[in-house]
Amino acid sequence: MAAPRAEVVIDLDNLRHNVSFLAGLAPGADTMAVVKADGYGHGAVEVARAALEAGASWLGSCSLVEALHLRNAGITAPVLAWLDPVGTDYAPGVAADVDLSASSVRQLAEIAEAARSVGRQARVHLKIDTGLSRNGCAADDWGALVEKAAATPEVRVHAIWSHLACADEIGHPATDAQAERFDDAYREAVAAGLEPLRHIANSAALLTRPDLHFDLVRPGIAVYGLNPVPEPFDLRPVMTFRSSVAFAKRIPAGESVSYGLSWTAKSDTTLALVPVGYADGVPRSLSHRMHVWVAGRRRPVVGRVCMDQVVVDCGDDVVAEGDEVVLFGTGAHGEPTAREWADITGTIDYEIVTGMYRPRVARTYR
Ligand SMILES: *Cc1c(COP(=O)(O)O)cnc(C)c1O
């Protein structure tokens, strides 16, 4: 087999471990594995199947198209889709048993119309904004929404739900404030005659706020083995980004490397060329600030990250063409991690792994 040019390897055993660990932390709740954005760049269908095997019973998608993609792959588990533009035709969703979220009377009416056209009830989750100020019904409009939902025979309200702003900062007072507003919203829904389930916990709240597990927890990032909170948990990163040495050569002291000649060899050294660059998900802003794992240790990338390649300084070590290069991985052997890239470039590991869904990067499953 040829050495990979650019490949993400998805370790589904690690993913199953994470899901079963997370489900075990919330024994009284069902677990929804969030697989939006093509499973945070890991492949929604493969992730969904593995998560369901490991103890998840729900799946979370952002858009209806994403939810229908799971259905088209033959996945029959409950799926919630929560954010689509005005004028979306929800009929295919209702027909395919996709749970739909409504944050307003207008959205509820669109869903009810789709249910009428399909000739079956739609299952909806009413979303209350408890402080994130994104999607979700404003508290002032909530009474009208729950009353309308209770009076609309085309929909059945399965749950009310919300999303937290600061759950990754343990002890942040906003989380308690959001929990209180969520409770108020629940009481109003019950007063309107609904008997909804409740869900609000993302990965961070699942890990640190058992009081907010309610009936269903919605972990995303933790399913992929990345920990959103400072406290340690037994989560195993699922994605490894790897390539191979395409070319190796000696250069003499004084020679410089890559565009701008921004790095100069202090002594004679061996350079290894790795055929991945910013078109493959290596941020150019990592130039002069990244290491890769090759020939048994971390080694610095020298000079600028290019569109298609980076150059690694290997000193006097023997590095062979074809040797495996790990750009980021689990960190178990000291190789760089997605978190390390995120910390250096000023983002979060969510963005690093989600950004790895690229046509030029192969994806394989272990
Ligand atoms: C993305 C998302 C989640 C998962 O969040 P993580 O921080 O990745 O656990 C849960 N709920 C909603 C509504 C989301 O959009």
Q: Pick the residue whose CA is nearest to atom 1 on ligand 1.
A: 220
Give me the mean pLDDT over the 287-314 stretch: 98
pLDDT in tens, 329-346: 999 999 999 999 999 999
Dist. CA 49–CA 81, nearest whole Å: 17
Atom of ligand 1 nearest to the CA of 135: 13
∠ Cα 305 37 92 (to 5°): 150
| The predicted structure's pLDDT at residue 54 | 98
For residue 7, being part of any structural domain is answered with no
- pLDDT exceeds cutoff 70 at 192: yes
Give me the mean pLDDT over the 350-365 stretch: 96
What is the pLDDT of the chain when averaged over all its residues?
Answer: 97
Confidence bin at 2 (pLDDT 50/70/90): confident
Nearest to 239 by CA among 281, 278, 271, 270: 281
CATH number at residue 308: 2.40.37.10
Is there a single domain that holds both residue 144 and residue 53? yes
∠ Cα 219 355 351 (to 5°): 50
Is there a single domain that holds both residue 71 and residue 41? yes
Domain count for the chain, please give it. 2
Is there a single domain that holds both residue 167 and residue 207? yes
Give me the mean pLDDT over the 245-264 stretch: 98
Is there a single domain that holds both residue 212 and residue 261? no
Fill in the DSSP letter of residue 248. E
Confidence bin at 85 (pLDDT 50/70/90): very high
Is there a single domain that holds both residue 210 and residue 266? no
Domain boundary among 198, 224, 250: 224
Dist. CA 262–CA 304, nearest whole Å: 7
Is there a single domain that holds both residue 21 and residue 144? yes
Nearest to 209 by CA among 236, 172, 242: 172
For residue 4, being part of any structural domain is answered with no
Is there a single domain that holds both residue 199 and residue 63? yes
For residue 57, being part of any structural domain is answered with yes
In terms of residue numbers, what domain contains 128?
12-224
Dist. CA 271–CA 45, nearest whole Å: 39
Is there a single domain that holds both residue 78 and residue 128? yes
Confidence bin at 189 (pLDDT 50/70/90): very high
Domain boundary among 224, 258, 278: 224
Cα-to-centroid distance, 302 and ligand 1 (Å): 36
pTM of the entire predicted model: 0.97
Is there a single domain that holds both residue 30 and residue 115? yes
Give me the mean pLDDT over the 52-73 stretch: 98
CATH number at residue 16: 3.20.20.10
Cα-to-centroid distance, 296 and ligand 1 (Å): 36
- pLDDT exceeds cutoff 90 at 1: no
Is there a single domain that holds both residue 77 and residue 211? yes
Cα-to-centroid distance, 177 and ligand 1 (Å): 19
Ligand 1: residue of 163, 169, 182, 198 to mutate (most ligand atoms within 8 A of CB) is 163
Atom of ligand 1 nearest to the CA of 202: 9
Atom of ligand 1 nearest to the CA of 350: 8
Give me the mean pLDDT over the 242-266 stretch: 98
| The predicted structure's pLDDT at residue 3 | 84
CA distances from 320 to 76, 239, 295, 310, 315 (A): 48, 25, 8, 16, 13
